Amino acid sequence: MICYLVRHGIAEERSPERADGERALTAEGIRKMRQAVDGLHRLDVKPGAIWSSPLCRAQETASLLTTGLGIKSSAICAALAPEGDQAALLTAMQTAPAPLMLVGHQPDLGLLASRILTGDPAAVDLPFKKGGVACITWNGHEPTGHGQLEWFLTPAQLRLIGRA
């Protein structure tokens, strides 16, 4: 199985007037994420489904991915929220459409990647930048400790690929 882990794009700053989950992508975040999606398109990334954190910025990022990559299946996944239930997520992933794209937050995506790759969420530090993407292959029946990192691209690299 191929799994793409995507950190949401650049979002509004934290504010005491707004709940964290309501923070939306900025105009710059939308523009840069669209350009990164162009890079994913040029890399021929075609997920079978996109699952997103329920937070606004992740849902908006998933929407840009869905539109830009021509994907029909997307869903909200509570386990992708910050500090979500990774065990439940890994269980659900075992029966998910492949390839699967997950849109979430840091440090959770880095911990998930490390867990899939090594079995230990703290063994590998993958510092996802906003809009960064990792591609991991793994045996979906044994999701932890049996993965292989195929590539890990920053948003700037994806934008360059999209312009090439």
Domains detected in the chain: 2-163 (3.40.50.1240)
Where are the extended beta strands (E) located within 48-117? 49-52, 74-76, 100-104
Confidence of residue 17 (pLDDT cuts 50, 70, 90): confident
Confidence of residue 45 (pLDDT cuts 50, 70, 90): very high
Closest CA to 9 of 156, 152, 162, 130: 130
Query: Does 141 score more than 90 pLDDT?
Result: no
Cα 113 to Cα 56: distance, rounded to the nearest angstrom: 22
pLDDT of residue 20: 85
Q: What is the pTM of this model?
A: 0.95
